[in-house]
Amino acid sequence: MMTSIISFGVLLAFALVIFCTIKWWNLRLIGPTPVGLFTFIAILFTSGLDVGLIMFPLAFDYPLYADVATEPAYGFTNPLALEFGFWGFLIWAFYFCAIDPRVGFFKIPVVKLLNNIVIITTCAFTGALFLIYMPYYIAEVGDGETILPAFYIIAFLVILVAVLSSTDIKYVKVLSVASTFLFLALIAFMWINAGMGIGEFASTASNVGGYFANIHKFVVPLTDYHEFYLFWWFAWSIMIGQFTSRFIGGLTTWQLLAALLVIPSIPLALWFSVLYFYHLESIPTAGIANWAMTIVGITFVINSFDSLIRLYTDNLSLTVERWGKAAYVGGNTIVLFVLTLLFQNQWLQIQWVGTVVIALYVGCLGYIAFAKRDALTGITSTGSVPAE
């Protein structure tokens, strides 16, 4: 059942991307707070990713994808191509920004409430993943498996810092740009730490080509684990699109799609290639390398949180200006930490959230078809329109 739902959702999303790109190819998009291309990509990249990008490949994914005896579905290509396929290129199209201001679907009270519940719960899911896998991230603390009281404190502090960052949009922008540079510095450090030469990197990175040669196989779920990833991306798709669309600085539709697909995929390919070399050569990461990855991973979690907190608090008018800084920080921190604990205990599932998002896609299309078809007739393939 869940496989059918996510397969339908993915195919629907890609069909919408193709339709919007062809119909409004040269339409110029301008958000309410436009920024330069680099800042826009930094906000997109750091808001749309979390600590899993840093820690999952080496600790969990590469060994899983290499074990084709257990998972024969992965046997058609190499682990690096699979990792890139789970995180890069095509799935960034999920964040493609649809035209909503003229339609107003997400301003309908019940839709607005449901959309913001999705945002809040997905935010908490990110916190739960961070908490659950923290023993593996910070292997120097504890036995590497048990969630110690110190890890709950760290998770609470991460949420607190993210809420504080969300109090002013300038903090979100600065942290996004700083995180991008920090991630690039981490790639350089891990490369040097591995003693990898240019030739070795080129040889390792060439494995990414296995993704593009088999790109069609990544559209629908390969396995239950891939299905989990797709639901995860879907849960993020509408809200990250809503948030980042605020910062579009005049890109046309095709330029925006190209930017979404290509630009974030470049650092991802670099990162995964460096980590794949560690996997192939069995290079240990204990010590400084592991702490470096942990610090960058925590920064990514904060980035993900502050973007989503900013989005739902603006949508629901739960702003600092309205409630005061103390109530804003305290209320959001407590609610998100409690929801994080619920996800950690599996009272909530990301698959449920992803299913609600797919329902929102279908509902929006139905609303346009039966009530707002004329609202889009004035949008031509050229000119400009507010992104959201």
pLDDT attached to residue 193: 94
Identify whether 199 is part of a domain.
yes
pLDDT attached to residue 263: 87
Lowest mean pLDDT among 96-105, 133-142, 163-172, 232-241: 96-105
In 3D space, the residue among 97, 384, 101, 98 whose CA is nearest the CA of residue 250 turns out to be 384
Identify whether 33 is part of a domain.
no
pLDDT attached to residue 378: 60
DSSP code for 364? H
Q: Which range among 88-92, 136-140, 164-168, 347-351 has the greatest average pLDDT?
A: 164-168
183-206 mean pLDDT:
95
Report how many domains make up the chain: 1
Identify whether 35 is part of a domain.
no
More confident residue, 97 or 327: 327
Identify whether 326 is part of a domain.
yes
Compute the distance between CA of residue 363 and CA of residue 366 in angstroms, rounded to an integer: 5
Inform me whether the pLDDT recorded for 318 exceeds 70. yes
Compute the distance between CA of residue 76 and CA of residue 74 in angstroms, rounded to an integer: 6
What's the alpha-carbon Rg for the chain, to the nearest Å? 20
Inform me whether the pLDDT recorded for 384 exceeds 50. no
Inform me whether the pLDDT recorded for 280 exceeds 80. yes
Round the average pLDDT of the chain to a whole number and report it. Answer: 85
Identify whether 126 is part of a domain.
yes
pLDDT attached to residue 157: 94
Identify whether 252 is part of a domain.
yes
209-264 tens-digit pLDDT: 999 999 999 999 999 999 988 988 888 887 777 777 878 888 888 888 888 888 88
Predicted TM-score (pTM) of the model is 0.87
DSSP H helices, the chain, are 2-23, 37-47, 52-56, 62-66, 79-87, 109-137, 149-165, 169-194, 198-205, 209-213, 224-244, 253-262, 265-281, 288-315, 320-323, 325-344, 350-370
Task: Give percent of the chain above pLDDT 90.
Answer: 30
Identify whether 301 is part of a domain.
yes
356-384 mean pLDDT:
74
Identify whether 30 is part of a domain.
no
The confidence band for 385, taking pLDDT boundaries of 50, 70 and 90, is: very low
| Residue 17 structural domain | 2-24+46-375
44-91 tens-digit pLDDT: 777 767 777 888 898 889 999 999 999 999 999 999 999 999 998 887
